[in-house]
Amino acid sequence: MLKIWSMKQKQQQDESAATGPKKKKVTAAQLRVQKDLSELSLGSTMKTDFPNPDDILNFTLTIEPDEGMYKGGRFNFNFAINQNFPHDPPKVKCTQKIYHPNIDLEGNVCLNILREDWKPVLNLNAVIVGLQFLFLEPNASDPLNKEAAEDLKSNREGFKRNVRSAMGGGAVKGQSYERVLK
Amino acid sequence: MAADSALTNGADSQRLRWKYLDRILSRPGPFTDPDWEPGEAVIEGLSRAKILVIGAGGLGCEILKNLALSGFKDIHVIDMDTIDVSNLNRQFLFRHADVGKYKADVAARFVEKRVKGVKITPYCGKIQDKDEDYYMQFAMVVCGLDSIEARRWINATLVGLFNEEDPDSLKPLIDGGTEGFKGQARVVFPTMTSCIECQLDMHAPRAAVPLCTLATIPRQPQHCIEWAHIIAWEEERKDITLDTDDPEHITWLFQKALKRAQEFNISGVTYSMTQGVVKNIIPAIASTNAIVAASCCNEAFKLATNSNPFLGIPETDNYMMYTGDESIYTYTFQHIKKPDCPVCGNLAKNLEVDSKSTLQEFIDSLAERPEAQLKKPTIRTEAKSLYYQSPPALEEQTRPNLSKKLSELVSDGEEVAIQDPAFQIAFKFKLVFKK
Ligand SMILES: [Zn+2]
């Protein structure tokens, strides 16, 4: 142990470490989210909302696709990040009931990097890019809303019509959806 | 010979128990450092060393037993859990009559009874309950945890404890972990060698099945249980917070999973499998725990006595991985410290500030600091977002803080973390108010 200490003294840089009153320190998860937020590129189609600005681990992301079948809609996702981030992925849920093959009626999202393919090197930007992509390219092979996936697979034009009516607050096959038009 | 004097010194037959241990500590071996002085002082040092064990579960039982049998005499142990009947197969310090009691308490009493002269001080609660003063009293910390979150917490705490002017503030962290037939033992010298946070990517992420597989084409009984856990509960019992220790909750999930398994012609869903999947219980192999704990305790012994080179000496190996699932393989290597590690990469420095100056003035002064010109800083404390450059919504919400006085935003000595796009890593300062 003492040997280690003398090595430390050799290693010592010119900086002096802080001492003083003991206060809560910014957590590793907060540091990482802070970094991720500073690297977020939201463009013109996305914005964030922080219900409590002091709490950066919980916020809402709004996506307004400017192309594709979901153009004209406004979609809200709740982000809940725990203190084990980035080991654990953020928990992301759609807060509206929408018609989408990869999002179920409870708002669960089937996006590989939110679950099976999450790695600590991925950041929040990767997640929002992934979410945005879901609206440009809904994917029938990873279905969470089975009906919507079937529609997309069998009849793309019919699917598009269903998207429009669901976004307007209409019903598709007896299931009513929330109005999400801007 | 020095060993003899140690024997006569205690003057009782008790010391005979340590005869061979004393021999190791009483004469140099082929690998001991030439400067090392064997003998009574080393033996004394070992019995006086105060060591903290975090976790009294599968690994913890082994660690406590090994440390006590290696000559440590002042051992503390923290664990918040109580004993479950399913622990008894491998957590050998517990008996059936102990079910429901605190692990730390029972483990401490058992080892004290079996190894005379050892004092074990239990604390039944969370590591987060304790402050820096508490951790400061130990010579080193040994972790036998199954939670990455708890490891990250103790790691950050020990890094934060370190103060260059005080040799005693350097607390080696010995960490053991197992998962089935795999495990690792590693030693961290906070701020000197790669820390737990530097090594975060060494933890395999929990294997997850795609959500759409769970939702549409379950193939295994576990898929049905995960479906009940993630999807069915949310749909039907959204307003009840799932408590994985509540038998009613587990029974509900089990019934749901069973029904779904029948729909898809899948067999094998059981109550205990439901419990295992929901609580993410990784099958523990007693021998893996024994191997990893033994390695951790050998390092603790060598660290406390300097009798032999140990894992974690800066610029040498600090990580031993063990794999027993395909024959047997171990590999010991040096995990390199990450310069941009958010925990050990940049230590908090004291920064004297005028408490009456505004946040804007403080931010302007950061742009002129010689070591790092922070031109677009984002800045927060643990509790507050002081100023964010982006995203735009957060910038707008925190902008009013710019005209506030520092004394309104932070307390004297509080830590702030500053992120700037020009740097990969956050800077940490403790703001000390000018008197
Ligand atoms: Zn580190």
Q: Any chain A CB within 8 A of the CB of B349?
A: yes
- CA A71 to ligand 1 centroid distance, Å: 44
Distance CA(B253)–CA(B203), nearest Å, equals 29
Size of interface A-B (CB pairs under 8 A): 207
- CA B429 to ligand 1 centroid distance, Å: 17
Q: Any chain A CB within 8 A of the CB of B398?
A: yes
Whether the predicted model's global pTM rises above the 0.90 cut? no
Burial class (CB in 10 A: 0-12, 13-18, 19+), B107: buried
Q: Any chain A CB within 8 A of the CB of B207?
A: yes
DSSP B163-189: -TT-GGG---EEEEEEEBTEEEEEEE-
One pLDDT digit (tens) per residue for chain B, 435 residues: 444 444 444 445 678 888 889 999 999 989 998 889 999 999 999 999 999 999 999 999 999 999 999 999 999 999 999 999 989 988 999 999 999 999 999 999 999 999 999 999 999 999 999 999 999 999 999 999 988 989 999 999 999 999 888 889 999 999 999 999 999 999 999 999 999 999 988 887 777 888 888 988 899 999 999 999 988 998 899 889 999 889 999 999 999 999 999 999 999 999 999 999 998 877 789 999 999 999 999 999 999 999 999 999 999 999 999 999 999 999 999 999 999 898 998 888 889 999 999 999 999 999 888 777 888 999 999 999 999 999 999 999 999 999 999 999 999 999 999 999 888 888 999 999 998
B235 contacts A31? CB cut-off 8 A: no
Q: Any chain A CB within 8 A of the CB of B139?
A: yes
B419 contacts A3? CB cut-off 8 A: no
Distance CA(A101)–CA(B215), nearest Å, equals 12
For the structural domain made of A27-176, what CATH number should be given?
Answer: 3.10.110.10
Amino acid at A174: G
Q: Who contacts B284 (Cβ-Cβ below 8 Å, separation ≥6)?
A: B58, B90, B178, B180
The domains located in chain B, with CATH, are 2-203+284-333 (3.40.50.720), 211-278 (1.10.10.520), 349-418+426-433 (3.10.290.20)
What is the distance in angstroms between the Cα of A5 and the nearest Cα belonging to chain B? 6
Residue count (chain B): 435
Active site (catalytic) residues of A: 110
- CA B188 to ligand 1 centroid distance, Å: 9
Please give the residue of chain A at the shortest CA–CA distance from B430. A18
- CA B339 to ligand 1 centroid distance, Å: 8
Contacts of A21 in chain B (CB under 8 A): 412-413
Which contacts qualify for B205-211: CB closer than 8 Å, 24 or more apart?
B205/A87, B205/A118, B205/A119, B205/A120, B206/B280, B207/A116, B208/A115, B208/A116, B208/A118, B209/A115, B209/A116, B210/A110, B210/A112, B210/A115, B210/A116, B210/A142, B211/A108, B211/A109, B211/A110, B211/A115, B211/A144
Where along chain A do its domains lie?
27-176
Interface of B with A in 226-245 (CB under 8 A): 230-231, 234-235
